[in-house]
Structure 1
Amino acid sequence: MKLVVRVKLLPTPLQAAALEATLHACNQAATWAAGVAFEENARRPLELRKHAYAEIRFRWGLGAQAAQHAIKKTCDAYTTLRANLRNGRYGRPGSRRHVRASGKPVVFRPQAAQPYDDRMLSWEHQARTVSIWTTAGRLKGVAFTGQAGQLEVLAAHRQGESDLVCQGGKWFLIATCEIAEGDLNTHPAGFLGVDLGIVNVAATSDGERHCGRRINRKRERDRKLRSKLQKKHTKSAKRRAKKHAGKEARRNKDINHKISKRIVAEAERTGRGIALETLTGIRERARLRKPQRTTLHSWPFAQLGSFIAYKAKRAGVPVVYVDPAYTSQECSQCHHTARDNRPSQAVFSCRVCGFVEHADHNASHNIRQRGWMAWVCGAQSTAPELTLIA
């Protein structure tokens, strides 16, 4: 399985200037190539290379490998755009967003990521330095740092390309690693159901709830601050909002890592699998009041699901996905399903058998049972191919 490790570069001011000039040149070349691809309808690397390769090398002074990567990055961007248009990410065909997205060439930010292969980048793990190509020549002895566990994974399992990125004035290399999967537990003792919700980010069928009122109060403060800054329309307010958004995203990511780690560890310890809800289309399916919509849309549930999936894959824990329809209204004891079984958000009370439990735990029991039935019927354990762990 593929994992992605991010390490921080520690360049000197001269080295940082060379890296910045390189990133700008590569992205300017990619933006120009995107315009050529749009005009000539050349969206594949071999076709675009005929129109753009020589000009990129002459005009921006890029090396052969850098020019090839700029062309490939352009084609990949158009492939992603085409997939997003097909999947409705920009609305229906003919809508304003759809026309605006499809009617102009792709443009790359000056500090967008630039891929590097082993010809352009070499690692010295003992000295914790890299030798990296730039438009000003090859830079040797550029220091990097990271957590001990991440650096061990990097030294033992790195394969393929690495991406150079600049975020907030800091430089990072994002490296792809090929990790061996754990031996899959083909005979689980049962399944641990996980219900994802609004008040509790995750509730398990073992009776554990993750991130309740304390986190929700913090999320509400974040929402109010974000709304306040958006109303000001000043440069300083926009700058502060952007900085706060990054801080909020990093905190949410850290919480998702902690939740997923605890869930996978418990399933591995007890020899069980994990049953998750299918999150596809959750925003379109959910029928919520306006305050709840903001709460639902502000949490990265897909990220949490991917973290659980890839950690489970490393540990050999099977993961199955089930249809979450009516899990909050179905009684986990007698399976009577009715909207009246939910007298309040937190309480489940069956109108037929009288079973009473916390609503999220009742839903997690239903997910656990559906997960077991899906496994018995031959569902395969799945996990994403690429996940950022740093």
Structure 2
Amino acid sequence: MKIVVQVKLLPTPEQASALAATVAAVNAAADRVSRVAFAEFGLKGRVFELRRLAYGELRARGLGAQAAQHVSKRVADAYATLRGQIGAGLLGREGSPRRAKADSKPIRFRADAAHTYDDRCVSWRMDARTVSIWTVHGRLKGVAFTGEPSRLKTLAGHRRGESDLLCRGGKWFLVATCDVPEAPLNTDPVDWIGVDRGIVNLATTSDGTNHQGRGLEKYRRRMARVRAELQAKGTKSAKRKLKRRARREARHAAHVNHRIAKTVVADAERTGRGIALEDLSGIRDRTRVLRHRRATLSSWPFHRLGTFIAYKALRAGVPMIEVDARYTSQGCPRCGHTTRRNRPTRDDFCCVVCGLAGPADHIAAVNVRRRARTAWAFVNMPHAAVSPSPRSGTVTSCKPGPSGPGC
């Protein structure tokens, strides 16, 4: 599976100046190629066409051969992404203001956008922890880098493909692509860990483990107050600080989700179980929340948590399945009775028929586990022979399909 590993560069002032000049030069060149390509081909520019159109000019501007190739490819990929978004309807209908704004002008490239390097432009010396990298001022050798030991180990053993050079907050980073082998999938899990995702409790497992989100919610409320104060000022410095705080908040939420996903996957791997999640596709369209909770729901990172659990489970060989999320917090896992009255409050569950009581999120996780057991057994059901037909006397086999039994 493909993952990325980020390392921090430790350049000298002279090396940092050369890297800054390189990033500015290649992005200015990409901006120039984008304008020419839009005037020549509109949104239909392809890699070969752009290289034929712009290679000579890029070389004349002082870019190396591989850098010129990568600039053309970046522009072509940007327009391919835009075409895909328009085709999928992500930018609105034809004639809508948002779509008209997107397809009526060339794509712009920021002056500090990341630039792609291949193995011809950057070489790694893992033993010395240095890289040799191409710049517009010549090749820089001996640029030191550092990172977490586990990531450096992954980088040394599995690096494959391209790397991206980027500057964030005055610091330089290289983001390298690694091809990590997947562990053999456990096709016969002994049981499942049901995971209920929420806002107050980010994740609650069927084992009773509760990963509370109160700390994250408190942090976000504080960030919201600071954001409101900065927005009220409206100065340039306030806007720059808003961007920095937005990135900081995103990194904090990602860290919390990574920590939860790592714990859940490690528990499932250790016990030989699988992981079951609720299928929350379109939940924002299906749910109604109070006005003061809408911002919290919109920024709820449940999708990223599911993504982190999915790729960590794939890497560890742990099976993962998504089940129907409807009524998981209202159904009784003991008697099966489902009603809104079973959940008198957000945090509590009490079955009105059999009296089973407990935390609502834990009950929902148990229901997710029960549905995963049924779904996995159905998916892995062997072909079942049915009785001979009265008219033909033949025996047919029935294989379950994705939406139900096959016969």
TM-score by length of 2: 0.88
Is contact 1:205–1:361 with CA below 8 Å preserved after alignment? yes
Cα distance 1:30–1:286, how it changes in 2: closer, same or farther (>3 A)?
farther
Measured in 2, the distance between the counterparts of 1:72 and 1:372 equals 47
Residue 50 of structure 1: how far off its partner (Å): 2.2
Residue 337 of structure 1: how far off its partner (Å): 2.9
Amino acid at match of 1:243: R
Measured in 2, the distance between the counterparts of 1:300 and 1:212 equals 11
Mean CA deviation greater in 46-55 or 164-173: 46-55
Measured in 1, the distance between the counterparts of 2:78 and 2:226 equals 34
Partner of 1:179: 180
* Shift >4 Å, 4+ stretches: none
Is contact 1:115–1:162 with CA below 8 Å preserved after alignment? yes
Is contact 2:216–2:253 with CA below 8 Å preserved after alignment? no
Measured in 1, the distance between the counterparts of 2:124 and 2:133 equals 9
SS in 1 for 2:379: coil
Amino acid at match of 1:20: A
Partner of residue 59 from structure 2, selected from 57, 60, 64: 57
Q: How does 1:1-390 map to 2 (within 5 A)?
A: 1-39=1-39, 40-41=41-42, 42-58=44-60, 60-378=61-379
Residue 123 of structure 1: how far off its partner (Å): 0.4
**Cα deviation per residue 1:163-183 (whole Å; 9 max; x = unaligned)?**
001111110000011111112
CA RMSD across the alignment: 1.8
TM-score by length of 1: 0.92
Measured in 1, the distance between the counterparts of 2:79 and 2:336 equals 48
SS in 1 for 2:182: coil
Residue 307 of structure 1: how far off its partner (Å): 1.5
Is contact 1:346–1:360 with CA below 8 Å preserved after alignment? yes
SS in 2 for 1:207: coil
Equivalent residues, number = 378
Measured in 1, the distance between the counterparts of 2:107 and 2:38 equals 8
Is contact 2:331–2:338 with CA below 8 Å preserved after alignment? yes
- Greater RCO structure (CA 8 Å; 6+ sep): 1
**Cα deviation per residue 1:185-232 (whole Å; 9 max; x = unaligned)?**
110011111111111111111111112333322222122222222222
Measured in 1, the distance between the counterparts of 2:73 and 2:279 equals 33
Amino acid at match of 1:45: V
Is contact 1:327–1:367 with CA below 8 Å preserved after alignment? yes
Residue 93 of structure 1: how far off its partner (Å): 3.3
Partner of 2:402: none
Cα distance 1:204–1:166, how it changes in 2: closer, same or farther (>3 A)?
same
Mean CA deviation greater in 42-51 or 65-74: 42-51
Is contact 1:198–1:292 with CA below 8 Å preserved after alignment? no
SS in 1 for 2:201: coil
Measured in 2, the distance between the counterparts of 1:121 and 1:244 equals 32
Measured in 2, the distance between the counterparts of 1:288 and 1:87 equals 28
Is contact 2:28–2:111 with CA below 8 Å preserved after alignment? yes
Cα distance 1:54–1:323, how it changes in 2: closer, same or farther (>3 A)?
farther
Is contact 1:252–1:299 with CA below 8 Å preserved after alignment? no
Measured in 2, the distance between the counterparts of 1:132 and 1:224 equals 43
Measured in 2, the distance between the counterparts of 1:170 and 1:55 equals 31
| Runs of 5+ unmatched residues, structure 1 | 380-390
